Structure 1
């Protein structure tokens, strides 16, 4: 199979600047001596190829670059090209199949994702500009590290009833996954992998961590979160782990602390400062830094009605995401955006 690559250079992008009011949140400072958090941000649309009818940022490489996402070709919302944004340019790759999802990109520019093939079956894939497109068998990919190791889940057959997801990893270059250890007959998934090989995800109702030696353990629950509440660990950056779901959490692996995050919903990314990108309760993009939530400016002065802040750079000054716009009378459209903060 082949993949077609295109590059578009950005022209002048229209920027929208706002000075949002920071909302106080009772959380400790991330680390002594860390850089002061931003107080203002500007939003701009990311460049896309001519004829694009939608775009979004869904992830980024280590440190926040390049930005990873997709663009929609023509009028079919499922006819997507992989997109990578870097230094004001967008490169697109036509990945064969439908429902194309770019899950993660590493520092070497290798992308991993999932798609539906011509037979309607889900397949995982990797794309390297030097090597090309490669099918990866046996599961759903969620993340990869700089060495090319993949993590995700596979569907395990059961004695009765439908198959269930279990956490797996693909060694670098492998075509089939290896199960990660977990207690009993639980279900689960591996959702991210750190630069040192630490893997995070979920097992049963618990957020879970697998160490470099392959052993694993559940992450502690913050005070007040009952054992029957589902939790998951979605991102790891250095000593910090981010938990999503109905109870957003930030874990510090150095201290063992588990902090409930308030004032921010749907957290998506965390950096090594412990800062978090996500949404405010009213669906604006947001940055949580050193105990303060900074609402991010909206596109077109507020006509964009929903914003996702998906990625966060190492210094917390660059955030990638998506703005949704209500059509009149056309359907909702999505546009890839970035926030630059100072």
Structure 2
């Protein structure tokens, strides 16, 4: 689950850190994925690198100190990978693009969040003008190119080739002035998020084609919850919160059962920010769990790439990292550098297909003091 970035978070008990609005920034996204990535000067880039702020637009919990080692330096260039610019309308600047799980579709905010560009297989498929003349942010994209965008408490799905949009609404018993947001979308177009009710905050699910009738996800008694990511198999990741001492990473399995994921003893709070393959990931804290692990259930493992934004994962565990220097791929075979574009030295990663074949991000030309150009790396045939 991705990528990119203002951080968009909920208040975390037991810590002085808050992420009230990113992720939408990361996450924020208002969003995590994006505004942090829209860098206009060299000084801003240096500040982000120093602070360790996530550059993705996706939703992320508060960042804790990173006890994990940083990834090893790349030893060579990634074989069989090529960098491609994503074309944009003349005079338009975009945020970092998101990609769907197949890698075919990508989308990015343009003109500072007032319009939208959608690509199919590297070519522009649609340009969406301003929606009600207000800024919005991209939350996710499906395998049919439908894009979920958010503005305050208004959420809609835009599909290339269709003039109408689909509005998502809250249940009638939700608090209209309470915290609520959409945070993730899977290949089928299902959407997750959270809303506030009389008895607390609850994780939510909007099924594709049924945006007016969301489902409140089952939450253990006495706990609050939020959902941040939904896998293509229907599993949902987020957290449960006891309002007192800890926020625990949580998975709602596709069969309706729930699973609290264990945490290291010295890490008080956590949340599932991405689900891909049989892995659950908390990029903000540099942790991951293998959900199919047997016997005894999943145990927390440190990501060798460290914590924070600018990291995305494929189903086989390969991680793409780009936080303002080289963009690299890290996996069981080591660390390799993704190809650079002439004249560009700083790269940010914001999305990755489930098979790891397509990685999306942006390249920054410091001399031009631009916000960056969207691009993708395609690996393999």
TM-score computed with the length of structure 1 as normaliser: 0.72
Separation in structure 2 between the aligned mates of residue 39 and residue 199 of structure 1, nearest angstrom:
34
1:322/1:86 Cα in 2 relative to 1: closer, same or farther (>3 Å)?
A: same
Consecutive unaligned residues in structure 1, runs of 5 or more: 1-21, 26-36, 117-121, 159-163
CA RMSD between the two structures: 3.0
* 1:154 alignment counterpart: 195
Among 55, 61, 64, which residue is 2:100 paired with?
61
In structure 2, stretches of 5+ residues that fail to align are: 1-70, 171-179, 242-246
TM-superposition CA deviations, 1:146-172 (whole Å, max 9, x none):
4442211224467xxxxx753111133
In 1, the alpha carbon distance for the partners of 2:344 and 2:122 equals 24
Shift of 1:262: 2.1
Q: Give a deviation string over 1:290-319, Cα, whole Å, max 9, x none.
A: 263334345444443xx3212223442321
Kindly indicate whether residue 131 of structure 2 is the aligned counterpart of residue 96 of structure 1: yes
Question: 2:169 maps to which residue?
Answer: 137
- Within the candidate set 359, 371, 380, 1:319 is matched to 359
Aligned in 2, Cα 1:324/1:207: closer, same or farther, shift over 3 Å? farther
The change in CA–CA distance for 1:58 and 1:250 in structure 2 (over 3 A counts) is farther
CA distance in 2, matches of 1:208, 1:109: 28
Q: In structure 2, what is the Cα distance between the partners aligned to 1:287 and 1:185?
A: 42
Aligned match of 1:196: 233
Look up the match of 1:127.
Answer: 158
Q: Which one of 90, 96, 101 corresponds to residue 50 of structure 1?
A: 90
Cα distance in structure 2, aligned partners of 1:165 and 1:284: 40
Bigger fraction of residues in strand: 1
- TM-score, normalised to structure 2, is 0.65
Taking the TM superposition and a 5 Å limit, the aligned residue runs for 1:1-342 are 23=72, 38-39=78-79, 41-52=81-92, 54-72=93-111, 77-79=112-114, 81-90=115-124, 91-97=126-132, 98-116=134-152, 122-128=153-159, 129-130=161-162, 132-138=164-170, 139-156=180-197, 165-172=201-208, 173-204=210-241, 205-221=247-263, 224=264, 226-228=266-268, 230-245=269-284, 247-255=285-293, 256-265=298-307, 266=309, 268-279=311-322, 283-290=325-332, 292-304=334-346, 307-326=347-366, 332-341=370-379
Number of aligned positions between the proteins: 285
1:83 Cα offset (Å):
1.9
Following the alignment from structure 2 to structure 1, what is the Cα–Cα distance between the partners of residues 344 and 365? 10
In the alignment, is the contact (CA less than 8 A) between 2:167 and 2:211 conserved in 1? no
Alpha-carbon separation, structure 2, partners of 1:108 and 1:211:
24
Q: Secondary structure at the match of 2:136?
A: strand
